[in-house]
Amino acid sequence: MEFKDYYKILGVERGASADELKRAYRKLARQYHPDVSKAADAEARFKEMKEAYEVLKDPEKRAAYDQYGKDWQSGQDFRPPPGDARGFGNRDSGFGERVDPGEFSEFFEAMFGRARGGGDPRAHAGRGAFRAAGQPIDARIRIPLTDAYHGATRQLSLDIPRLGDDGRMRTERRSLNVKIPRGVTAGQRIRLEGQGAPGIGGGAAGDLFLQVEFEPHPVFRAQGRDIHVRLPIAPWEAALGRTVQAPTLGGWVELKIPTGPAGRKSLRLKGRGLPGKVAGDQFVELEVVVPSASGAARSLYEQLEKDSSIDVRADIKDLVK
Amino acid sequence: MTSPRSIEAVLLDEDLTFTLVEISEMCEVPETVVLEMVHEGVVDPIGPSPAEWRFHGEALTRARRAVRLVRDLELNWAGTALVLDLLDELERRSGAV
């Protein structure tokens, strides 16, 4: 396994004081907390810094880490010390700073043993007294917008922490076919009952919560249940109020361009957004595209220039002296 | 790999409600912590008394997020409520989450 340089992860010197460690951790934690950050690697980074801080804030663990870790460089192949430092104890410290099993790296486990509770859960289980519900698990699922519109089944692979027969936490790869409900929006959570971590000693399994994200679509952009589309139109389509084809998630529709001042206009197609109790709308932003004037088009533009008496800048002329 | 069976996912929206006990179980905190969250305005239940409270699916999402923020960043509940409101506003403005 790779050696982890906890000081480097927190961006502090080896001799950093408890105060400096706390400051560095707090700053990074605010930046990378998965509930706050939009960075793609936020979850992994946060996990890593939480582990680093968990060790370095505890004087005993820090001393053990400094002692065994002084000869290793970050990323180097690490062999756990004989005996190991597990005597330094991982306590379940209550709500304020709970440590989840399976949350920390293999490296951490090799140094300090399992992350939760000093005792062996099997011992409790043997007495028939210890029973615990499995933990809920949070994950993200990225789906195409069309899945949210039509509903779909997506395959998802997840690492689920599980208590092994030897009493140590390890992760297990699990594959699920998830039925995506129709009309789900980005940022919403969906719940899969009993698909989280398995319970201990016959306890019920936890739930799995998936936060939905949309893959970027080249044409459609979702805002809640509403869909936004930019539709290029020609100047004559705008001026003459022609009917053009416009894409929606449900397929192409005919759209009558309103006449009047052209330019950037937004049209609303009621109920053409993502489905729901109240379906979203689709907003079509018209974008007049001016084709290059060459050949026959050029003489038509010139004709237009000669005949037209409209001053397109009339609106702003009075506004700027 | 054999094809796993399909699992129905439930959308945590306004149509789904939970009791105080259910919320506390799914947030992995004692009921007193949920009471505190309600008093500090982190989540709003419907109903007159804790025994009759019903929380929307979205409140569960918000409560779980709040518990993680309080635990990991050592915020207080009032600060967490503010953070969640600001994050919601940010997400609403940016359009895509």
- Closest residue to A179, CB basis, from B4, B8, B57: B8
Measured between CB atoms, does B57 come within 8 Å of chain A?
yes
Q: Would you state the pLDDT for residue A125? A: 40
Contact between A148 and A185 (Cβ < 8 Å): yes
Residue A305 lies in a domain: no
Q: Are residues A195 and A244 in the same domain?
A: no
In the block, tokens 């129709």 appear at A182
A176: chain B residues, CB-CB within 8 Å: 4, 7
Residue A101 lies in a domain: yes
Separation in Å, CA of A93 to nearest CA in chain B:
12
Q: Which of A124, A159, A180 is the last residue of a domain?
A: A124
Burial readout B37-62 (b: 16 or more C-beta within 10 A, e: otherwise):
bbeeebbebeeeeeeebebbbbbbbb
Contact between A69 and A125 (Cβ < 8 Å): no
Chosen for mutation from B12, B76, B92 (greatest number of chain A CBs closer than 10 Å) is: B12
- Tens place of pLDDT per residue across chain A (321 aa): 778 889 999 999 988 999 999 999 999 999 999 888 888 888 889 989 999 998 999 888 898 888 877 666 666 666 665 544 444 444 443 344 444 545 677 777 777 765 444 334 333 444 445 677 888 888 889 999 999 999 999 998 888 887 777 777 778 888 989 999 999 999 889 999 888 888 877 888 888 999 899 999 999 999 889 999 999 999 889 888 899 999 999 999 999 988 866 555 789 999 999 998 889 999 999 998 988 888 888 988 889 888 888 788 888 888 887
Q: Are residues A15 and A58 in the same domain?
A: yes
- CATH code for the domain of A73: 1.10.287.110
Q: Would you state the pLDDT for residue A114? A: 54
Q: Would you state the pLDDT for residue A81? A: 57
Q: Are residues A225 and A208 in the same domain?
A: no
Instruction: Choose among A207, A176, A190, A157: nearest CA to B5.
Output: A176
Separation in Å, CA of A7 to nearest CA in chain B:
19
- CATH code for the domain of A158: 2.60.260.20
Q: Are residues A79 and A187 in the same domain?
A: no
A179: chain B residues, CB-CB within 8 Å: 6-9
Residue A304 lies in a domain: no
Report the distance separating Cα B66 and Cα B69, nearest Å: 5
Q: Are residues A10 and A27 in the same domain?
A: yes
* DSSP of chain B: -PPPPEEEPEE-STT-EE-HHHHHHHHTS-HHHHHHHHHTTSS--BSSSGGG-BEEHHHHHHHHHHHHHHHHH---HHHHHHHHHHHHHHHHHHS--
Residues B15-60: pLDDT tens digits?
A: 788 999 999 988 989 999 999 999 999 999 999 999 999 999 889 9
Q: Which of A214, A244, A270 is the last residue of a domain?
A: A214
- How big is the A-B interface in CB pairs under 8 Å? 101
Sign, CA dihedral A194-A198-A204-A208, equals negative
Is the Cβ pair A95, B71 closer than 8 Å? yes
Contact between A158 and A137 (Cβ < 8 Å): yes
- Closest residue to A186, CB basis, from B10, B13, B97: B97
Q: Which residue of A lies nearest to B87 if distances are taken between CA atoms?
A: A36
Residue A307 lies in a domain: no
Q: Are residues A205 and A227 in the same domain?
A: no
Separation in Å, CA of A136 to nearest CA in chain B:
7
Q: Would you state the pLDDT for residue A103? A: 65
Contact between A78 and A72 (Cβ < 8 Å): yes
Report the distance separating Cα A178 and Cα A209, nearest Å: 11
Locate B75 and state its tokens.
Answer: 């915020």
Residue A302 lies in a domain: no
β-pairing, A282-288 vs A226-233, is parallel
Residue A158 lies in a domain: yes
Can you give the residue range of the structural domain that contains A241?
A: 220-293
Residue A301 lies in a domain: no
Structurally, how many domains does chain A consist of?
Answer: 3
Q: Are residues A181 and A270 in the same domain?
A: no
Residues 6+ apart with CB under 8 A from A311: A317
Is the Cβ pair B7, A177 closer than 8 Å? yes
Amino acid at residue number A146 = T
Q: Which residue of A lies nearest to B68 if distances are taken between CA atoms?
A: A35
- Closest residue to B6, CB basis, from A177, A181, A209: A177
Query: What are the residue ranges of helices labelled H in A35-172?
Result: 42-56, 59-69, 106-112, 121-126, 145-150
A183: chain B residues, CB-CB within 8 Å: 11
Residue A268 lies in a domain: yes
Q: Which residue of B lies nearest to A217 if distances are taken between CA atoms?
A: B96
Is the Cβ pair A177, B15 closer than 8 Å? no
Measured between CB atoms, does A245 come within 8 Å of chain B?
no
Q: Are residues A83 and A115 in the same domain?
A: yes
Q: Which of A78, A102, A124 is the last residue of a domain?
A: A124
Q: Are residues A99 and A151 in the same domain?
A: no
Report the distance separating Cα A164 and Cα A135, nearest Å: 15
β-pairing, A208-214 vs B55-56, is unpaired
Separation in Å, CA of B47 to nearest CA in chain A:
23
Query: What are the residue ranges of helices labelled H in A141-281?
Result: 145-150, 235-240
Q: Would you state the pLDDT for residue A297? A: 86
Measured between CB atoms, does A153 come within 8 Å of chain B?
yes
User: Considering the entire predicted model, what is its pTM?
Assistant: 0.66
